[in-house]
Structure 1
């Protein structure tokens, strides 16, 4: 299935204006600060963000993990207000790859007038994490995949592209040694101009050798200023409740080194509103540089996931890039209210498991989605990233249009546990023509938490899930006039997935020969 370009509605990404201060000197900035940047600039689960400038427009993407369509493409004219226009892979995963769709990195070749999108995925045949690349004649696609470029035994991730001072093109990446308790070298190797082949021998730039870096360095981004190449990079644990991710900087007068790490690293650490800051990319705007990185908000934490945060680079008197490290959580969550009656094409915010080709249609009757028993018996999933801690979702299920062997409903979707690679799991509420059930499904085992009968005369049933503090769930059914409770204070925290945050959305369970009818879906933030 192909997703066309859409404009992301303003109620989802209404991100406020800010004024960029001008100038990038050799001393710590002392000018009057401008208005605050409104963060997060990309709310919800948008890890490992990348950003590149093409003319007057900025283009961004982020990690998809196991949710399709893969690698969203956003555009902006000011780095703050973003529009979702397409995906690198709107039709699903490339044939060679199966999961772990991480760390896209966009790069624009001005001479070719062509966009390249590097990315990480796990190879089906070898099981190795691999760096691959796709290309497009226009930043908004469509993209053609060119397959893996490097796939080391320990894994290869987090690609970045840079040219040396002579104009030679290189691909940089991390060897994923930490997965086997080994060091994590940052490598550079020359790459062909069509980005399909690595040339010559690889060169190590640096590795995790400073105490603050712990068991890894990763997520390199390179930019030039004056005589130096500068690198931002991240270290520590990125992706769970015990994370300690941080960002450092290094510099070299030659792309291949020797590289010198800043003696005041790390330059980005936990602050008032954000924790575990890192893995992003640097982009110029005017005379300044900005760093787009991910972080957990301290209130949302792992329940919401890693959101994209924008911060201006400052400079020391010794020509080191650093940060004020004072980014605020300044967005109004009221902007995230969402509703969908499915009369038109499916909104691009909806996601599904990369392992499933979903079948659906939209129209006057709402959404008709084919049921299934895949996804660990959860059925077909259509979800969105969580963007706040306190909200409620509701959906109206059309019983007469729903097949006899199918149930439609809503759920909070996570993992069977908090570990890396845990299978998908969920807690939700669903209905068929006989009754309503609240359920928890983990490792294909379903526990019924509440249930109610419904009259045979009912043509529709409205269901509601209320979420508090990111993980405390209440489930209700509408009796035609009031909302009646079926299960209260259900704790979903054991199911928060490693590195992703919860998703909320719709489920269609049952035989794959029938469809579920969902008339409408609504999200209201209650912060």
Structure 2
């Protein structure tokens, strides 16, 4: 980690971008260097309606926040906004048309994740059921605004019918600016393992380049399933958050693996430091489908000046927020899954901690 003093960090941040809000939407974490980072606070439900697998976004580092969910009665990809990362309101459907490649008889969209690529370009990664191969594939759609409507690419960007399909895509930007796609192979549809992979993306945010690397895979302790990956960087460590066990049971949870390289190798964190959330903790039931973002890291995308890189890698005034879902009926997904959140998730030397 690069160490800078607070006064230098403030000057560099002011020079880094003219779009950073003077008033942060939530209190920022102070610069490390002997100062104490606040604990991650779990709160919910913040949307007490069916809003599963929430993905979150803070466009240009300024409120309003955006959250996107799996299909429900609220739309193909319902979205909500918040000015303070506390009170949320449903707004509409960000992806009314998922593309001609999506089956018309099975047109639900799963686990959308939206990332800002430039100041006027947003990419949504989502899962749909392919009309041509009868498996889940990952699609991408673009918009000039975070509210959309997003325009889909004419074909999915990733399919793996032989392994059972692919699902749960999320984006990630590493220090230095490289974009990645992270996803799960849907092997449980064929009674097979469910490895999670990472692969570089081109600067357009949706064209896969290079080769895929396996990050982790499911084991007996995971109930045979790992899914819903979300990758975040903090102070030299990469944290891969994921859910394990069946989504429709109280065994569903949020856990994580760590590495000091974006592509791994990754080590699943064990008790007592993981899982991060299990049923009953903080009043949750079947917590899962989390999206975790490093707010300032997600904001500093364009351009990547030396001052911005210093701030990114020093963690100056950064904070990590997350959203996840929890069963409304306290038993299973049958009653819908409400959105919950974590403000200021604590990440330190490969360990994530929260308070209720």
TM-score normalised by structure 1 residue count: 0.52
Which runs of structure 2 are paired with 1:5-154 in the superposition (5 Å)?
22-23=29-30, 39-54=44-59, 55-57=61-63, 58-64=65-71, 67=73, 69-90=75-96, 92-98=97-103, 99=106, 100-109=108-117, 111-146=118-153, 147-153=155-161, 154=164
Alignment of 1:277 with 2:277, yes or no, is no
Decide which moves more: 143-152 or 259-268.
259-268
Q: 1:268: which partner in 2?
A: 277
Deviation at residue 142 of structure 1 after TM alignment: 2.7
Q: 1:291: which partner in 2?
A: 322
Alignment of 1:223 with 2:217, yes or no, is no
Which runs of structure 2 are paired with 1:406-485 in the superposition (5 Å)?
none
* Higher fraction of helix: 2
RMSD across aligned C-alpha pairs, in angstroms?
2.9
> 1:89 is paired with a residue of what secondary structure?
coil
Note closer, same or farther for the CA distance 1:316–1:225 as it changes in structure 2 (3 Å cut). Answer: closer
Retained in 1: the 8 A contact 2:52–2:325?
yes
Note closer, same or farther for the CA distance 1:287–1:249 as it changes in structure 2 (3 Å cut). Answer: same
Counterpart pick for 1:208 among 196, 213, 218: 218
Larger Rg: 1
Decide which moves more: 147-156 or 269-278.
269-278
Q: 1:238: which partner in 2?
A: 247
| Cα separation, 2, equivalents of 1:303 and 1:206 | 29
Q: 1:252: which partner in 2?
A: 259
Deviation at residue 260 of structure 1 after TM alignment: 1.8
Note closer, same or farther for the CA distance 1:213–1:143 as it changes in structure 2 (3 Å cut). Answer: same
| Cα separation, 1, equivalents of 2:35 and 2:247 | 29
Retained in 2: the 8 A contact 1:217–1:233?
yes
Retained in 2: the 8 A contact 1:165–1:254?
no
Q: 2:173: which partner in 1?
A: 163
| Cα separation, 2, equivalents of 1:85 and 1:277 | 24
Retained in 1: the 8 A contact 2:45–2:338?
yes
> Structure 1: which 5+ runs fail to align?
1-17, 327-527
Note closer, same or farther for the CA distance 1:116–1:290 as it changes in structure 2 (3 Å cut). Answer: same
> 2:221 is paired with a residue of what secondary structure?
helix
Deviation at residue 70 of structure 1 after TM alignment: 1.1
Retained in 2: the 8 A contact 1:214–1:236?
yes
> 2:189 is paired with a residue of what secondary structure?
helix
* Higher fraction of strand: 1
| Cα separation, 2, equivalents of 1:177 and 1:21 | 40
Decide which moves more: 245-254 or 300-309.
300-309
Higher relative contact order (CA 8 A, sep 6+): 2
Deviation at residue 214 of structure 1 after TM alignment: 1.6
> Structure 2: which 5+ runs fail to align?
1-24, 296-316
> 1:41 is paired with a residue of what secondary structure?
strand
| Cα separation, 2, equivalents of 1:143 and 1:218 | 25
| Cα separation, 2, equivalents of 1:237 and 1:28 | 40
Q: 2:187: which partner in 1?
A: 177
Note closer, same or farther for the CA distance 1:180–1:41 as it changes in structure 2 (3 Å cut). Answer: same
Q: Deviations over 1:296-316 (max 9, x none)?
A: 145575453111111245547
